[in-house]
Amino acid sequence: MKILVCITHVPDTTSKIQFTADNTKFDNTGVQFIIGPYDDYALARAVELRDQTGGKLTVLNVGEAETEPTLRKALAIGADEAIRVNSNPKDSFFVAKQIAHYAKEGGYDLILMGRESIDFNGGMVHGMVGELLNMPSFSPVMKLEVEGNMVKMAREIEGGKELLEASLPLIAGCQEPIAEWKIPNMRGIMSARTKPLNVVDVVSDETQAEATSYQLPPAKGSVKLVDKDNVEELVRLLKNEAKVL
């Protein structure tokens, strides 16, 4: 089976979010970048499936040269080869167009990615790629089993889940608990250095909805503490001051 996993290169979840240049750029000073946590789940499941069924696992990222350590990490975790589409990811549509092109060229049976990136939280790229390639797309997928040509999935819905069946090829946006995150071991890190990482050009420059400026939410005031022996006071504050009861 040929599997493609699309990963994002995003700030660590504990990063302080700040902007520079008149609030038009993300300030990456001191920020550590990681594989998107949802993409990391997709990658972990893909490694398991590749080990189970054989075949080849490719990872892809749309990003500039600075994202290569993130792709190398994915290779260390277990991907066989990497593709970097050499461009800043401008918007979801732009990214989906690149992925659709290279996915078609590679003829993958299964395309996995995270349910959303943790920077822009759009959660659209898998569905867009699905429509561009005329393949079914599913998200957020929390379980995925492949039996021959058949795929059994669980998709999270509000307050529960639905169980689904579809046949390959298909696209899934993944989330926990589809697999446990995998930490690269020394052998993986060593072998990642020599695995192929191909840099390819963008195939379309079209965008539809680009972010132009950023803003931080207003600072939170300090907490009002209520004595533990006076819980009635809390009820009164919620009712009369916050007006949320």
Partner 1 sequence: MSILVYIEHSEGKVKKTSLEAVAFAKALSQQTGEGDVVAVALGTVSNDELAAVGGAGATKVLHAEDSRLDAGVIQAHASAVAQAFQKEQSKTLVLAKSSLGDAVAARLAIKLEAGLVSNVVELPKTNGEYLVKRSIYTGKAFAETNVTTDHKILAIKKNAIDLKLDDSKATVESFAVNLSDSDFASKITSTERATGEVLLPEADIVVSGGRGLKGPENWGMIEDMAKILGAATGCSKPVSDIGWRPHHEHVGQTGVKVAPSLYIAIGISGAIQHLAGVNSSKCIVVINKDPEAPFFKAADYGIVGDAFEVVPKLNEALKAEL
Binders of partner 1 among residues 134 to 153 (CB under 8 A) are 134, 136-140, 142
Examine residue 13 and tell whether it contacts partner 1 (CB under 8 A). Answer: yes
Between residues 29 and 194, which has the closer beta carbon with respect to partner 1?
A: 29
What is the radius of gyration, based on Cα positions, of the chain?
Answer: 21
**Residue range at the interface with partner 1 (CB under 8 A); choices 60-68, 78-86, 195-203, 223-231:** 223-231
Chain residues 158-197 in contact with partner 1, contact rule CB under 8 A? 158-167, 170, 173, 175-177
Least CB distance from residue 30 to partner 1, whole Å? 15
Examine residue 238 and tell whether it contacts partner 1 (CB under 8 A). Answer: yes
CB proximity list for 160: less than 8 A, separation 6 or greater: none
Instruction: Give 216-220's long-range contacts (Cβ < 8 A, gap of 24+).
Output: 216/17, 216/18, 216/19
DSSP secondary structure letters along 32-91: PEEE-HHHHHHHHHHHHHHHHH-SEEEEEEEE-GGGHHHHHHHHHHT-SEEEEEES----
Q: Pseudo-torsion of CA 92, 98, 102, 105, nearest 10°? A: 110
At position 190, the amino acid (one-letter code) is M
Q: C-alpha angle 87/58/72, rounded to 5°? A: 65
Chain residues 32-71 in contact with partner 1, contact rule CB under 8 A? 37-38
Between residues 109 and 119, which has the closer beta carbon with respect to partner 1?
A: 119
Between residues 108 and 138, which has the closer beta carbon with respect to partner 1?
A: 138
Examine residue 1 and tell whether it contacts partner 1 (CB under 8 A). Answer: no
Between residues 116 and 192, which has the closer beta carbon with respect to partner 1?
A: 116
Q: How many CB atoms lie within 10 A of CB 109?
A: 17
CB proximity list for 108: less than 8 A, separation 6 or greater: 2, 3, 4, 58, 169
Chain residues 75-134 in contact with partner 1, contact rule CB under 8 A? 91-93, 96, 118-128, 130-132, 134
Least CB distance from residue 19 to partner 1, whole Å? 7
Among 55, 81, 189, 214, binds partner 1 (CB under 8 A): 214
Least CB distance from residue 75 to partner 1, whole Å? 23
- Site size for partner 1 (CB under 8 A): 79
